[in-house]
Amino acid sequence: MKKSYLQKNEFYSADHVAIRFSAVLNKYATTEPVGNPNEAVKLTYTNKNDVKGEVDGNKVFVYTYHIQVHKLNESGKALKDAEFALYKTEADAKAEKNAIATGTSDKDGLVVFNNANKEEMLLQSGKYFVKETKAPTGYNRYTDVIPAEITVTYGDALTNGTYIVKGPDLGLVSFDVKNSKTVLPQTGGQGNVIIYSVAVSLAVAGGVILLVLRRKKKSADKSA
């Protein structure tokens, strides 16, 4: 708040003033039930007479979670190089735009969603949506939007060092996504039989045309 605003009498006529702020957690934030405590929050201000004041804040706990995908083939074996994106809304997931994080399956089929800084994306509880954006070579892409909800119940009192009453184990929500192989016509299969049949038909037709032409030529020679 600017000093010019603090010098106005109407500011002091209010019973109380609420200040809301937001912060971005760094890569060291934990997803454990103990949360991320912040005790350094306080408000420092000066009034219209330039008298400095200070108000200590409360101890704040921030809880974060993460979402992971296990990419598998039809037999349940890990698939590498499948690409996924994470979205806040179902509409964005369907349109494949405004992704908040992306990830690619490793040799164990594990997909970890990373932000723009290549750090694992830590999330607040709520509903998210996952979409496979690219399948591994030789496999069909799973095109459905996958809801991924982080469901947590919080209590009003700190119990055993946490306000979480019920939530995902270790702050992790994970699920499997399976891909089927891309099926192409095989040699000797029905697709080739059809091609061969067409080729034979064309050859026979060509023979008929040639035969007719030869007969016409012989008739012309006799007439001459």
DSSP secondary structure code for residue 118 in this structure = S
pLDDT at 222: 53
105-143 pLDDT, tens digit per residue, is 999 999 999 999 899 999 999 999 999 999 999 999 999
| Whether residues 78 and 19 fall in one domain | no
In this predicted structure, which of 11-20, 100-109, 124-133 has the lowest mean pLDDT? 11-20
| Whether residues 53 and 129 fall in one domain | no
Q: Which residues of 82-116 are buried (b: 16+ CB within 10 A; e: fewer)?
A: bbbbbbeeeebbeeeeebebbbbbeeebbbbbeee
| Whether residues 55 and 159 fall in one domain | no
DSSP secondary structure code for residue 136 in this structure = P
pLDDT at 183: 67
Q: Among 45, 60, 75, which residue terminates a domain?
A: 60
Higher pLDDT, 105 or 3: 105
Place 205 in a pLDDT band, splitting at 50, 70 and 90. very low
| Whether residues 80 and 135 fall in one domain | yes
| Whether residues 77 and 111 fall in one domain | yes
| Whether residues 174 and 123 fall in one domain | yes
DSSP secondary structure code for residue 135 in this structure = P
| Whether residues 74 and 156 fall in one domain | yes
C-beta contacts of 141-146 below 8 A and 24+ residues apart: 141/179, 142/177, 142/178, 142/179, 145/90, 145/93, 145/94, 146/175, 146/177
pLDDT at 98: 97
Range of the domain at 203: 185-224
| Whether residues 210 and 167 fall in one domain | no
* Average pLDDT for 5-22: 77
Domain count, the chain: 3
pLDDT at 59: 81
**Res. 191: pLDDT tops 90:** no
pLDDT at 76: 93
| Whether residues 168 and 97 fall in one domain | yes
| Whether residues 112 and 167 fall in one domain | yes
| Whether residues 84 and 160 fall in one domain | yes
* Average pLDDT for 45-68: 84
In this predicted structure, which of 76-90, 152-166, 182-196 has the lowest mean pLDDT? 182-196
pLDDT at 198: 42
Residue-averaged pLDDT of the chain: 81
| Whether residues 168 and 196 fall in one domain | no
